Amino acid sequence: MCLGIPGRVVERVEGYGDQLVLVDIVGGQSRVNLGMLDEDDQDLQPGEWVLIHMGFVVERVDAAAAEKAMVGL
């Protein structure tokens, strides 16, 4: 089991083979890699929530799941 930190997608990062998105993580922004997601889940749009582990998006989640994950931080 890994610890997933919730983040909200701000925008896609141009270049890098469309594998990076900029996310807001508790007020700070970071670039994270989509390489661990299935191709079908890599079409993330601004405002969507994801769980992040070690710089990689590991799961797309809804707002309720993201809020629940933030409670433990």
pLDDT of residue 42: 86
pLDDT of residue 2: 62
pLDDT of residue 26: 87
Which segments of the chain have a pLDDT < 50?
1
Q: How far apart, in whole angstroms, are the C-alpha atoms of residue 27 and residue 50? A: 15
pLDDT of residue 47: 97
The hierarchical CATH code for the domain 5-71 is 2.30.30.140
CA atoms within 13 A on the CB side of 73: 13
Spans of all domains in the chain: 5-71
| Other beta carbons less than 10 A from residue 5's beta carbon | 20
| Other beta carbons less than 10 A from residue 55's beta carbon | 12
